[in-house]
Structure 1
Amino acid sequence: MAMTRGTCRWPKRPNPSDRGKRGMDMALQRRTILGAGFGMVGSTLLLAGAAGAQTAAAHADAAQPVGLPDSGTHLLLLGTMAGPVLDPSRMMASQAVIVDGAVYLVDCGYGTILRMIEAGLRPADVKAIFVTHHHSDHNADYANLVHLAWIQGIEDRIVSIGPPPFQAIHDAALAFHHEDIRIRIEGTGRKPIEGYFEVREVTEPGLVYEDDKIRVTAAIATHPPFSTALGFRFETPDRSIVFSGDTVASEQITALAEGADVLVHEAMYVPGIDAMLAKRPYVPPKLRDFLMDGHTTAEDAGRIAAQAGVATLVLTHLLPGDQPQVTDEIWAAEAAKEFDGRIVVGHDLLLL
């Protein structure tokens, strides 16, 4: 079982001389800098055994530097922490599927636009936005995303897909920016913003989007108290990528992920949650139960990956994602109790 690990460091300016640097240090498990202008750090750790995984080697042949690929299908992790928790090392839930240069967003929580800019993506580059459910750590950047796409001069309509009440949320996003939009139209002659967006509300499983590059189907996840939360499966000519969204261990998500190349699944680690809550006495008294009732442990994510027969499991929406004592090795070891395939512990701006 192989684990790919990545973190990000943020230089003020890109350093072209850092491109393509690679290295290996099996004894110290030294991280290999793959700076593609964003100082991304990535390495692959080979863990031996399912329970109590041991680090056997470190190499850098799986995690690629961020670099705007213009061919093939790629997965870019933009935000990898559950929230709403603010931490500069991780933004909240967001991923981009890039197919022959076309960009499709899955969720857009706090910090999505920041990470897009750091990766060289523009809001106007986005063809479709898929929202798994309407918690703020999955949709808080939506209003600014659609507004900035309009400001940047989008030419084709952006399709927004997610559960109800998505149309009302979209309308509220435009209402939030109403005064700015009105003044820009009157002052500069911009075309009205409304015609550039189409909202599709999803309440049933099945095909939700298709164009000349991708085919996207949805499954109903279980994330109480939401009546509808979604998982998505992206099919392209060369890859299949499944996103669980927020969910408890779910037969529907397992079925959606069957035989996929990549399963991007949320993960929680209960001892880490307890440590996090102990440091925050101000949190509501029922928060722990609320978290336990709506999310999946990393071990269960591994079980789902094994049952679905996926090639790669990507752990993201890490809960907690801001506790440094919960290391990549801990996350991977939990998933490896049930899954002996490739495990990737997600970090912002990791390109797969």
Structure 2
Amino acid sequence: MHDSTVVVLLGTGNPRPERDASGPATAVVVGARVFLVDAGPGVERRLAAAHLPIDGVTALFITHLHSDHTLGLPDLIFTSWVMGRKQPLAAYGPHGLQNMTDHLVAAWAQDIEVRTNGLEKRTPGGYRVDVHEIRPGVVYDSGGVRVTAFVVEHGTWREAYGYRIDAPGRSVVISGDTKPSENLVRAAAGADVLVHEVYPEPRTAPNPTESATWPTYMRDFHTSDVEVGQLAARLQPKLLILTHIIRRGATDEELLANVRKSFGGRAVVGHDLDRY
């Protein structure tokens, strides 16, 4: 574990509800600052379980607007306000994030009115979100932390991003949802830590309970364990962390065995609340 910059896995799961794997969310903690990538279901409770601030993160970065990556957004907006947040939440993400946020705030209008004007007396406007709809390039640069967004390939999504976070003494790349991406290879060059999504290659064949298009979907939208290993072999990060795991019954050992067909460096299968 690095002394000043730590990766905390808050959600390593996928759209399927699982007891031990919340929706996608990864925190890069730099001293007292928390930079959060994605807001899957359960994110505020995972922040609490990780002993990270529940009254607001330093900044939120959304990779794309799939529901499993954003269902925790109203939780971040309103729970952090109820817990004491007074300043707008800084949120960065693709086109459409502003519209989504506006609708969420409108949907909770009665809650806002009661908490502001009733006996609770929460900070007026403390629920607000300062949305930045981004383009590829540096999207945040403050206090020695620089965040760069890069385009990834996630099937038919018109906008999907990964993020590189360069912090004191450590650089972390978070893939977001993507099939193998040359943009990611370029963005992750020289990074210390690669946090990458994964599914098990041998388990993509359709079965009678699934659509026959499932294997095509997986290849167009996601990256297999074999492919992640090949990417890591090119990049040679000091640490590869597998997350957003679509297991389909695969064990940690099976995932890592396929990664190690190409990559001989340190690789781990992420679990919620792991710290690296």
TM-score class, shorter-chain normalisation, is: over 0.9
Q: Which residue of 2 aligns with 1:242?
A: 173
The 1-side partners of 2:78 and 2:39 are apart by 14
Tell me, what secondary structure is at the counterpart of 1:293?
A: helix
Pair 1:133 & 2:64 matched: yes
Q: Which residue of 2 aligns with 1:27?
A: none
Alignment counterpart, residue 201 of structure 1, candidates 133, 148, 151? 133
Identical counterparts, % of pairs = 36
Pair 1:113 & 2:23 matched: no
Residues 240, 260 of structure 1: 8 Å contact kept: yes
The 2-side partners of 1:287 and 1:91 are apart by 23
Q: Which residue of 2 aligns with 1:342?
A: 266
The 1-side partners of 2:261 and 2:268 are apart by 14
Tell me, what secondary structure is at the counterpart of 2:59?
A: strand
Check 1:135–1:220 CA distance in 2 against 1; reply closer, same or farther (3 A cut): same
Q: Which residue of 2 aligns with 1:315?
A: 242
Q: Which amino acid aligns with 1:192?
A: P
Q: Which residue of 2 aligns with 1:12?
A: none
Count of residues paired in the alignment = 275
Q: Which residue of 2 aligns with 1:164?
A: 95
Residues 87, 126 of structure 2: 8 Å contact kept: no
Residues 75, 351 of structure 1: 8 Å contact kept: yes
Larger Rg: 1
The 2-side partners of 1:131 and 1:114 are apart by 18
What pairs up with 1:164-243 in 2 under 5 angstroms? 164-188=95-119, 189-193=121-125, 196-202=128-134, 204-243=135-174
Residues 102, 125 of structure 1: 8 Å contact kept: no
Tell me, what secondary structure is at the counterpart of 1:124?
A: coil
- Provide, for residues 73-130 of structure 1, a one-character-per-residue CA deviation record: whole Å limited to 9, x for no partner: 0000111122x10110211211111100211111111222222221122331411111
Tell me, what secondary structure is at the counterpart of 1:227?
A: coil
Residues 78, 95 of structure 1: 8 Å contact kept: yes
Tell me, what secondary structure is at the counterpart of 1:340?
A: coil
Residues 255, 308 of structure 1: 8 Å contact kept: no
Residues 267, 295 of structure 1: 8 Å contact kept: yes
Q: Which residue of 2 aligns with 1:53?
A: none
Q: Which amino acid aligns with 1:171?
A: D
- Superposed displacement of residue 157, structure 1: 3.3
- Superposed displacement of residue 337, structure 1: 1.3
Tell me, what secondary structure is at the counterpart of 1:122?
A: coil
- Superposed displacement of residue 258, structure 1: 0.3
Tell me, what secondary structure is at the counterpart of 2:221?
A: coil
TM norm structure 2: 0.93
- Provide, for residues 31-74 of structure 1, a one-character-per-residue CA deviation record: whole Å limited to 9, x for no partner: xxxxxxxxxxxxxxxxxxxxxxxxxxxxxxxxx7xxxx9x6000
Pair 1:264 & 2:191 matched: no
Tell me, what secondary structure is at the counterpart of 2:185?
A: helix
- Provide, for residues 197-220 of structure 1, a one-character-per-residue CA deviation record: whole Å limited to 9, x for no partner: 210111x31100121141100100
